[in-house]
Structure 1
Amino acid sequence: MNIVLTGSLGNIGKPLSQELVQKGHAVTVISSNPERQKEIKAIGAKSAIGTMQDTNFLAQIFTGADIVYLMETMEAVGDSFDKSVDFIGEITRIGQHYKQAIERSGVKKVVHLSSIGAHMDQGNGILLFHHNVEQILRQLPAEVAIKFIRPVGFYSNMLSFIPTIKRQGAIISNYGGDTKEPWVSPEDIATVICEEMDKPFEGRMVRYVASDEVSPNEIADALGKAIGKPDLQWKVISDEQLLTSWLTIGFNEQVAKGFIELQASQGNGNLYEDYYRNRPTLGTVKLADFAQNFARAYHND
């Protein structure tokens, strides 16, 4: 099949591109960075250099594709410390560009990398943009079949703990405890996307992706042991304290408040209500596997 991938060669895009090429598909990878061309070619894929904000470019590249894979990230619109960026607004507009490009190109099969929390129109913090993009894509004609892939929190998000561990000797958040929550590896996400691309497309469907289910205290224990700090604790502070801390170091206010609300939703379980109603089979990459990567990053930081 002729498959077009947005998202360049990121944590998901690279293993996804490799697996699809190995299966014999003709893969085009969209990237905004011309320097990615050599790496994309080395995988055996074709590169298309342009942006997700350019509807004409997207429509041109989508034309003739059997399947288009869509994703949106905060990194595509700005830096989390840039106080002028409206992340939710800008990413929602990317969703509009996707919709228009699909309509103009005639694509009939779409895989959209969405997120946990996309079923919520409030209370999901910064993830609201995923909800918005899903709703925009659902406005496409019925003959456009869409698979919404909703991964849970990425293990790699835990790398943001490193500065706080080094400065304050603990993981610090506005929630914690012994209640398990799901986490996921990009490799398991890529595997699920490949599976879904090989299956029939019909209507609209949602599939969650997770690799492991562990509590904040279990995370602190696993990461602490991996970095040689077996007494590492996951400490809980108030929303207000955490927000003040993040704003003090220069976070975009929308981002800071968005993550505070998101993490509060993790803590009270609201974020996971639909996940547990549609609980997936867990993938192969467990917290113990990621802990070794965390340790390497911690000691090389």
Structure 2
Amino acid sequence: MKIVLTGSLGNISKPLTEILVKEGHDVTVISTDPDKQGRIQAMGAQPAIGSISDLPFLIKTFTGKDVVYCMNPIDFTARDIHTWDRNMDNFSEAIRVTGVKRAIVLTGWIAHLLRSIHPEKRFQALPDTAVTFVRPGPFYSNFYHLKDMIRQQRMIVSNYGGEDMVAFAAPEDIAAAIAAEMNTPAAAGLHVRYVASEELTCAQAAQIIGEAIGIPDLRWIVLPASQVQQALEATGVSPEAAGLLTEMQENMHNGKAQHDYYLNRPVLGKRKLRDFAREYADWYHQN
């Protein structure tokens, strides 16, 4: 198949590229970084240098392809988080114009619950395309962003945590699930696939990470959403972005995220948090 991947050579798209090239597919990887061109080619894929915010570029790149993978990470440092929605609109329009019949869209296990942005609604106007929303839980790699908090406060603080159950996901397992989805026929319309590697409470996850890095009493503390939002804004995060982040976390704390997840519970992936924690510990002590 002729497949287009977004996400450059990130945590998901790099292993996904490796899987699809090995399977013999014709893979094009979109990246905004011209310096990635050689690395993409070395992996056996074709680079397409451009931005997903550029609709004509997307249309050109999607033309003649069988499957597209749409990945649009939220930039919480941006002043206007609705750029994320506009990029999703670009994906949908490029799919409609080019007539691509299969799309895999990375959203997240709380995407359907959000009030401030609506990533999945953007694809409802594609009745002739089989669209699968891949909904992973929080990535293991999110712990990289918590390094300073852990080191300085010896705890993790958010408006979810403690005994809240989280379906953590390894990027490698997400890539494997996306590749499997691409190779699975699907009827036109909207579909959902959850992805998880290990189901743990936040307290259990903190203990695993803490033991690995030498802080065995590491805790994951829950604070009110208003307090978390104020703290985020104090670090320079825009009120809009801080509100989105606390909204996402609140849906993990109040059980809404877990409700639909359990109704569509996936087979868990191979990579467990302890596997990641060993690598994280090496990185943590070097940075």
TM range (shorter): over 0.9
Partner residue of 1:125? none
Partner residue of 1:118? 111
Q: Deviations over 1:58-107 (max 9, x none)?
A: 111111101111111124xxxx334xx211x1111112211221122121
Contact 1:107 1:144 survives alignment (8 Å):
yes
Q: Which of 184, 208, 219 is equivalent to 2:205?
A: 219
Shift of 1:227: 0.5
Q: Does 1:184 align with 2:169?
A: yes
Q: Which of 125, 129, 139 is equivalent to 1:144?
A: 129
SS in 1 for 2:274: helix
Q: Which of 229, 238, 249 is equivalent to 1:252?
A: 238
Pair 1:238–1:30, CA change in 2 (3 A): same
Contact 2:134 2:192 survives alignment (8 Å):
yes
TM-score by length of 2: 0.95
Contact 2:137 2:166 survives alignment (8 Å):
no
The unaligned stretches of length 5 or more in structure 2 are none
SS in 1 for 2:282: helix
Letter in 2 for 1:36: K
Letter in 2 for 1:90: T
Aligned pairs for 1:229-268 within 5 A: 229-268=215-254
**Which whole-Å CA distance do the structure 2 matches of 1:212 and 1:114 have between them?**
19
Q: Deviations over 1:255-284 (max 9, x none)?
A: 222212221221111122211111111101
**Which whole-Å CA distance do the structure 2 matches of 1:275 and 1:90 have between them?**
27
Q: Which of 134, 141, 154 is equivalent to 1:156?
A: 141
Letter in 2 for 1:244: Q
**Which whole-Å CA distance do the structure 1 matches of 2:272 and 2:166 have between them?**
13
Deviates more, 1:104-113 or 1:7-16: 104-113
Deviates more, 1:154-163 or 1:229-238: 229-238
* Aligned-pair Cα RMSD in Å: 1.5
Letter in 2 for 1:47: P
Partner residue of 2:58? 58
Q: Does 1:286 align with 2:272?
A: yes
Shift of 1:43: 0.3
**Which whole-Å CA distance do the structure 2 matches of 1:72 and 1:50 have between them?**
14
TM-score by length of 1: 0.91
Contact 1:154 1:185 survives alignment (8 Å):
yes
**Which whole-Å CA distance do the structure 1 matches of 2:47 and 2:243 have between them?**
37
Deviates more, 1:22-31 or 1:244-253: 244-253
Q: Deviations over 1:98-147 (max 9, x none)?
A: 1221122121111111211122243xxxxx53xx232111211x221112
**Which whole-Å CA distance do the structure 1 matches of 2:25 and 2:41 have between them?**
14
Letter in 2 for 1:195: A
**Which whole-Å CA distance do the structure 1 matches of 2:112 and 2:235 have between them?**
31
Deviates more, 1:192-201 or 1:176-185: 176-185
The unaligned stretches of length 5 or more in structure 1 are 123-127
Runs of 4+ in 1 over 3 A off after TM superposition: none
Letter in 1 for 2:13: G
Shift of 1:231: 1.6
Aligned length: 286
Partner residue of 2:39? 39
Deviates more, 1:180-189 or 1:288-297: 288-297
Pair 1:252–1:30, CA change in 2 (3 A): same
Deviates more, 1:232-241 or 1:143-152: 232-241
SS in 2 for 1:150: strand
Pair 1:103–1:237, CA change in 2 (3 A): closer
SS in 1 for 2:120: helix
**Which whole-Å CA distance do the structure 1 matches of 2:218 and 2:128 have between them?**
52
Contact 2:154 2:218 survives alignment (8 Å):
yes
Deviates more, 1:233-242 or 1:104-113: 233-242
Partner residue of 1:73? 73
Q: Deviations over 1:127-179 (max 9, x none)?
A: x53xx232111211x22111211111111112222111211121222232224
Deviates more, 1:17-26 or 1:266-275: 266-275
The alignment-based identity, stated in percent, is 42
Deviates more, 1:230-239 or 1:64-73: 230-239
Partner residue of 1:16? 16
Deviates more, 1:203-212 or 1:152-161: 152-161
Q: Deviations over 1:202-256 (max 9, x none)?
A: 1221110000011111112111110111122222333233222222121122222
Letter in 2 for 1:20: L
Letter in 2 for 1:162: K
**Which whole-Å CA distance do the structure 2 matches of 1:275 and 1:137 have between them?**
21
